[in-house]
Chains A and B, each alone.
Chain A
C-alpha cells in the first residue's frame, strides 16, 4: 500500500475509532474540529501525542466542504474518512474528492453508488425493479402541498381498506437521515400543519424542502443487514442487527446483533428464514449496484414477518461494532469494520469469503446520551464532571468525553456521551451483562442552573427487557 495520510472529517467517538483503526493499519491521520469541540478527546488526544507535523486543525464548520478540502491539501492528506453523518452520504462531496485537481480518496463507496443508494427515493426505485419489497408511499420528493395532501389521503384510504384500525402516515424530510425530521400523522386533518412544519425544518436544516410521505407501519421491528464489499467484486455480510429500541424522535438507543433470536423469543413467523431473506435481498441489491464499501441495509419487519426495505446507509454505521463483535473471520479473528472499510477504499481485496465468516453469541450496543427521556428525549446541556465505566472483558466503550477533567457538552451537536458494546454467549446473558454494566456506570454533572445531569441510563436499563421482542 502506498504511504497514506487520512483526514478524519468528523468528530466525537467515531473520529477516535477511525484514528485507532488507522493506527492499526499504520496510516497517519489528521483531525479537524470546531472551536466548540476543542475540549473533545478526538482533538485533545491528538494534541497530547508528540508529532513532527501538525495533526489538528480548527475549522469553521464540519459541514463546509471547502474547509475539509483546504485542510486536506494543507496537511498533505491522501484520503478523507467522513465517518457517519456530515459528508458520509454526500455524493457531491465524494465526487469532488475524486475529480478535483488534487484528487483524494473518499473512504466510502464510489460517488455514483452513493448517488444511487444515498437517496431513499432512488433506493426505493431500484429495489422495486429487483422485486425487493418496499414500503408504500411517495417515490420522489414532494414540494407541492396539494400533491402531498392527495397522496396522504390515498395512503389513509389504502390503510382503511386493509382494515387497519389506527392508520397513520410518516412525513419525512427527504434530505434527512438518522431519525431527524420525521413526524407521524394520525389524522388527515392534521396533515397540512405537519407537512408545513417538516418542510420548514427541511429548508432550515438541509437547504432542500422536499418531503417524503409513506405509510406508517406501527407494529414492526427495525432490522439492519451489515454488508461489506470490495472494489474486486467481493461481497460478504456480517449478519443482522435489531435497532427497534428508539427514542420518540426515532433515534436508535439500543441495538442488538443478531436481529432476531428464536432461541429466546417465540416469534409468530419463521425468524431465521426472515433474516436469511433480508440478507439475500440486501446482497442482491449490493451486487446490482456494484457496491464497494461497508454499508447498512435497513429493513422493517412486521409482526406478521413481512420485510420491507427502508433505505441503504452508504457509510459506516454507529452500531457497526456489535456486528464485528459477534463475527469471526477465519485467519483474522474478530474483524474491525472501520479497518475493512479503509482497506477496501484503498483498493485492497478482502482476502476472505462468506464461508470464512462465522457468528458467535449476541452483542448489544447502549447509546448513552445526556437527555431527558421523560420529556420527549429533550437533549440535556451542561458540564460532565465524572464519567466512569466498569471494566469487563465482555464490554468495550467508545467515548470522546474526557474522563480526567470536566467537559462541557457543546450545544451545537447531539449530547451523545458514549457507546457501550456488550457481548454475551446468549442473548439473555448479553442483556444481563448490559444491565450490570449500567448499574456500575457513574456519570455526574451539572446544568446551566446548577441542576444535576440527566442521562438515559435508567431508560436503557428498563428497555433492555424489550430487546428482540414484539411488545
Chain B
C-alpha cells in the first residue's frame, strides 16, 4: 500500500519549481548559436509535438547542417559563446536552459516516489521485449506478474532477458527510451498494483487541481 507525504512533496517542489537543463553537442561539428543568455525558448508543440522547439544552435558536419532544438520551455541561462563558429567535439556542454516544471512533470516526479519502480540493474541499453512492445504500440495497458520476461538489457554486446520481480501490477510509466543508455540505478519502469491504482489516480487529481503551470 502506498504511503507518501504528498503535502511535503508539493511544498518541496513549490519552493524551487525549476530544473537546469544542460544541453550538450550530440556529435562533432562546427557550432553556430541561435540564442543568447536571457532568451525564452519553447519546446516542441502541436497535438503530436510535430512542431520542433526553438533552435538553440546548429552543427555542421560533413556538409550537413543539423538544428539542435529545445526539448522543453525555459530561459537560456548560459551559452558557451567562445566556441561560436568553431569545431566542437561530441558531448560538450554548450547551453543551459532554466526550465519551470510543468504539472505533468511534477506528477511524474511524485509518481516516481509512489510507484513500484524497477531500476536499471546495470548501466546498459534497455528495450521492452517484442511482445510488450507490440502491446505498447497498440496503446494498450501492460500488466506484469512476477517472473514475466519484460525487458532486454543490452550490455557489452550481449542481450539478457530480465524477469520482472515486483508486485503484480500495471505499467504506469516508462522512464526510458528504448535503445538509450540508462545508468545503473536509474528508474526504468513504474508499476502500480491493482489496489494502489485508486490512490495513484487521487494523487494525480490533486496535483492537477492544485498546481498552477
* 8 Å CB contact of B28 from A71, A205, A249, A381: A71
Q: Is A141 an interface residue (CB 8 A)?
A: no
A381 with B87, Cβ < 8 A, contacts A60-B28, A66-B27 known? no
How far, in whole Å, are A378 and B156 apart by their CA atoms in the complex? 9
Residue A74 at the chain B interface, CB threshold 8 Å: yes
A59 within 8 A of B: yes
Q: Which residue of A lies closest to B90 (CB)?
A: A60
User: Which among B28, B92, B154, B156 is the interface contact of A204 at CB below 8 angstroms?
Assistant: B154
Mark A22-58 against chain B: 1 for CB-CB distance below 8 A, else 0: 0000000000001100000000000000000000011
* Complex contact B123–A381 (CB within 8 A): yes
Between A57, A201, A412, A448, the greatest number of chain B beta carbons within 10 A of the residue's beta carbon is seen for A412
Chain B residue at minimum C-beta to C-beta distance from A178: B157
A291 at the interface (CB under 8 A from B): no
Chain B residue contacts of A378, Cβ below 8 A:
158
- Is A200 an interface position by the 8 A CB rule? yes
When A59-B27, A64-B27, A67-B27 are in contact, do A74 and B130 touch as well, CB less than 8 Å?
no
B155 within 8 A of A: yes
Contact call B127/A70, Cβ cutoff below 8 A: no
Could you say which residues of chain A place their CB within 8 Å of the CB of B28? 57-60, 67, 70-71, 74
Pairwise interchain contact B127-A58, C-beta atoms closer than 8 A: no
The distance in angstroms between the C-alpha atoms of A35 and B27, with both chains bound, is 11
CB of B89 within 8 A of CB of A57, answer yes
Beta-carbon contacts under 8 Å, B106-159 to A: 122-124, 127, 130, 154-159
Asked if B62 is at the interface of the complex by the 8 Å CB criterion, the answer is yes
Write the nearest CB–CB distance from A409 to chain B, whole angstroms. Answer: 9
1/0 contact string of A180-223 vs chain B (CB within 8 Å)? 10000000000000000000110011000000000000000000
Q: Which residues of A contact B85 (CB under 8 A)?
A: none
B87 contacts A413, C-beta separation under 8 Å: no
On whether the beta carbons of A414 and B157 are closer than 8 Å, the reply is: yes
Interface residues of B in 26-42 (CB under 8 A from A): 26-29
- Taking the closest CB of chain A, its distance from the CB of B193, in whole angstroms, is 27
Say if the beta carbon of A402 comes within 8 Å of chain B: no
B61 within 8 A of A: yes
Q: Provide the residues of chain B in CB contact with A64, threshold 8 Å.
A: 27
C-alpha spacing A411/B29, complex, angstroms: 26
Residue contact B157 to A381, C-beta cutoff 8 Å: no
Tell yes or no: B14 within 8 A of A by CB.
Answer: no
Chain A residue nearest in CB terms to B123: A411
A361 at the interface (CB under 8 A from B): no
A173 to chain B, nearest CB (A): 12
Q: A67-B90, A379-B155, A415-B156 are in contact. Are A60 and B124 (CB under 8 A)?
A: no
Closest to B25 in A: A60
Q: Which residues of B contact A35 (CB under 8 A)?
A: 90-91
Q: Tell me if B205 counts as interface (CB < 8 A to partner A).
A: no
Which A433-471 residues have C-beta < 8 A from chain B? 448
Tell me if B203 counts as interface (CB < 8 A to partner A): no
Q: Which chain A residues numbered 378 to 407 have a C-beta less than 8 Å away from chain B?
A: 378-379, 381
Task: Give chain A nearest CB distance to B92 CB in angstroms.
Answer: 8
A70 touches B29 (CB 8 A): yes
A180 contacts across to B, CB distance below 8 A: 157
For A205, the chain B residues whose CB sits under 8 A away are 157
Closest to A71 in B: B28
Most buried by B among A35, A60, A71, A201: A60
CA of A414 to CA of B157, assembled, Å: 7
Taking the nearest CB of chain B, how far is it from the CB of A448, in angstroms? 6
Does any Cβ of B come within 8 Å of A69's Cβ? yes
Would A74 and B27 count as touching, CB distance under 8 A?
Answer: no
Cross-interface CB contact of A60 among B62, B91, B184, cutoff 8 Å: B91
CB under 8 Å from chain A, chain B span 48-77? 61-62, 64
Contacts of A66 in B (CB 8 A): 27, 61-62, 64
Report A90-116 CB contacts with B as 1/0, cut-off 8 Å: 000000000000000000000000000
Known: A66-B61, A204-B127. Contact between A379 and B158, CB under 8 A?
A: yes
Q: Which residues of B contact A70 (CB under 8 A)?
A: 27-29, 61-62
Which residues of A lie under 8 Å from residue B184 when comparing CB positions?
Answer: 448
A411 partner, pick from B87, B91, B124, B130, beta carbons under 8 A? B124
**A-B CB contact pairs (8 Å), 29 listed:** A57-B28, A58-B28, A58-B92, A59-B90, A60-B26, A60-B90, A66-B27, A66-B62, A66-B64, A67-B28, A67-B61, A67-B90, A69-B62, A70-B27, A70-B29, A180-B157, A204-B127, A204-B154, A204-B159, A249-B158, A379-B158, A381-B122, A381-B156, A411-B123, A411-B124, A412-B156, A412-B181, A414-B156, A414-B157
Smallest CB-CB A-B distances: 5 pairs:
A379-B156, A60-B90, A58-B89, A60-B27, A411-B123
Q: A70-B27, A70-B29 are in contact. List 13 more A-B contacts (CB 8 A).
A: A34-B90, A58-B89, A59-B28, A66-B62, A69-B62, A74-B28, A74-B87, A378-B158, A381-B123, A411-B122, A411-B124, A412-B156, A448-B122
